[in-house]
Structure 1
Amino acid sequence: MKPMLEVTDLAVSYGDGGRTTTVLDGLSLTVGTDEVLCLLGPSGCGKSTLLRCLAGLRRPDRGEVRLRGEVVDGVPEGLAVVFQDYGRSLMPWASVARNVDFGLSRALDRAERRARTDEALAAVGLADVARQRPGRLSGGMQQRVAIARALAARPTLLLMDEPFASVDALTRADLEDLLLRVRRDYGVTVLLVTHDIDESVYLGDRVVVLSPRPARLVADLAVDLPRERDQIATRGSDAFVRLRTLAAEHLRAT
């Protein structure tokens, strides 16, 4: 089976006042179908730039991105993105349901859009707040709205850019477990960017460690933990401690 996502020899540089900064340099990786790959690296290493290339929002200077075997040249179908700054990604004047519906194709009829919106909100536990506006919800609930909007589009690939970094620890744990349920129930492939070592091991089937800028692949670690995970039991296991220590060693060695 071909990988869901293939990144080959990707390079990106930015120019500023006659100076050039290389952000990505010869980066290659793959993401398998129905896999959660966590991209771990120091702040400013180029993780978000990589996501923009994967989403078709930034053309690389060299290399290519393929989604389901097709070269990404513009925003591809079957892709959804969830950002860290959930507040800015939602329309504060519109209801929760309208925010979710907004991401759906206008080619769908009204009944189908309503069905998808209701299903997605139920999946993230927000069916009872569909008529409320996002500003009346907690930060964690707002991020659930953003995840519901992504799910309603029924993506094959979900890109997440540090999606839980702006919430408290308990809410973060709830959202992490929500993501694992979404992957299980929807069979979506996920690439999640984070700088949190424990989160990467808890959520991932693989953890890819990147170097400081310009980002290069330092390590590609298989997470040999059961897919069904628990915030206390999993994090307390010897296998988890071993893997997070290994990831930390690779990250520190950069």
Structure 2
Amino acid sequence: MQQYQGYLIDLDGTMYRGRIKIPAAKRFIERLQQAEIPFLFVTNNSTQTPEMVAANLTENFDIHVLPENVYTTALATADYLADLDSKKRTVYAIGELGLKQALLDKGFRFEEKTPDYAVVGLDYDVTYHKFELATLAIKRGAKFIGTNADTNLPNERGLVPGAGSVIALVECSTQQKATYIGKPEKIIMAKALKKIGLNKEQVLMVGDNYQTDIKAGINFGIDTLLVYTGVSTRQQIAQQKVKPTYEINSLDEWKVK
């Protein structure tokens, strides 16, 4: 088993299940902290700021981390756009505080009619008017960005619409495909790797969902650790041609050094 110098880690299904604690997850993070091994939570959730994510982990799951340990698809989207063209700094965004704050922090200005970019993410108060503005902006030439392709999100009520479902409406109305940022795309992985300051060979992607977490690692060319505490099952993985590098039932099984 290789010794990794850094970890990229999923949240829901890996660190917790909805509102349910996963005790092994807390112990895993504490082992990383004790060994002074850097880690980033890489999440497709664009609605929350890193401060909000860290506070949720600390207050509700007794996992004590800093905002600096969190890398959201909102941050990855803002980083990606900031690196595209230094002269293009206007954006129309459908999304929550996490996305809008990330864009503001990178110096973007919000513009409804002729923005350089139209970014669509999960918005709990989305309206027809917001879809209309995004559609018209893209038709006028704005580059179309989608935070992530997750069609559904699990909550206590069941599988509710995710960002991918919202983005699909704009894809339909514009007849254009969005450029996606979040897992399993390479973009968020490249940005996360840059933030953690390590090489591909030095990091491990940890997650519970083969279709997002593990495929993100596979697509980007880094090793993966699938933990069976969330979405994917051993029966499902047995049918995949490309397997995770490692498979475990609990994070208690994983030695960080």
Q: Same fold (TM over 0.5)?
A: no
TM-score tier, shorter chain, comes to 0.3 to 0.5
Tell me the TM-score normalized by structure 1.
0.34
| Larger RCO, structure (CA 8 Å, separation 6 or more) | 1
Please state which structure has a larger fraction of its residues in strand: 1
User: TM-score, normalization: structure 2?
Assistant: 0.34
